[in-house]
Structure 1
């Protein structure tokens, strides 16, 4: 098939008779007609097996304050949320942080700054463990201060 014919077929101007790209096995796993598959590239949640075990963490990169509702809905479900505000302007970012602080206070969770303009919202039943070794002694042989 020529490039003009391919472009015309892609635009729907002519019928595409080239069936070599279609595989019957691929269409077997397709979604049911009533089942919609929608994804928002700004929100990522772990796989379904992690959801069954209760080990989900969502990362949200909002574009504006209107995306704060999605953060709140995830947090109300008990999912820890990492909010990345680096793509937002300062005014909207401040509003989202204020919203997140109120959300965590109201649901007895916690908010922690992970990096510049990146925050971790954790529900009340989630424990945050820092990377330092629990068995490390402060005043020992290796203390060089």
Structure 2
């Protein structure tokens, strides 16, 4: 009965500080594991890849602003030399237009570029980045997507 009570307490189904009579007498408290400040990652390669990308400057930020007040955050990312994908699909059209105007001025002032990726989704790239478009260049008339 003690192990069922402990499992129920662990799942949050019963109060942990309740009746002590249900606990086994041989139950021992284990010392708590030391707390670390690092984020818990299931695959250690994920954290290493993230650190490597940050060291080499290979980062792209995605921003989904709720209103025009969030434009400052995307401006700070872009000013730091990070390409930014701005998703405006959740915004009102008037606020989305203001953010696009802000982003256009930002890219012009910092000699970057702005490109529409999809409906209400834009890519802001700093001056030292090149966006390669592979729409028609990689396809031939009898290519992979020809279903006839």
Shorter-chain-normalised TM-score: which range?
0.5 to 0.7
Match of 1:111 among 89, 114, 117: 114
- Give structure 1 regions of 4+ aligned residues with deviation exceeding 4 angstroms: 7-10, 17-20, 132-137
1 CA distance for matches of 2:82 and 2:102? 17
Residue 132 (structure 2) pairs with residue 129 (structure 1): yes
- Please state whether the residue corresponding to 1:121 is helix, strand or coil: strand
Label 1:118 to 1:136 Cα distance change in 2 as closer, same or farther (>3 A).
closer
Query: CA-atom RMSD, angstroms?
Result: 3.6
Computing the radius of gyration from Cα coordinates, the structure with the larger value is: 2
* Shift of residue 58, structure 1, vs aligned partner: 0.3
2 CA distance for matches of 1:23 and 1:76? 47
Match of 1:30 among 31, 36, 39: 36
Instruction: Calculate the TM-score normalised by the size of structure 1.
Output: 0.66
1 CA distance for matches of 2:135 and 2:31? 52
Query: In the alignment, what sits opposite 1:42?
Result: none
Extract unaligned runs of 5+ from structure 2. Answer: 40-48, 143-148
Query: In the alignment, what sits opposite 1:74?
Result: 77
Label 1:84 to 1:136 Cα distance change in 2 as closer, same or farther (>3 A).
closer
Count, aligned residues: 119
Extract unaligned runs of 5+ from structure 1. Answer: 38-45
2 CA distance for matches of 1:122 and 1:107? 10
Query: In the alignment, what sits opposite 2:145?
Result: none
Label 1:93 to 1:28 Cα distance change in 2 as closer, same or farther (>3 A).
same
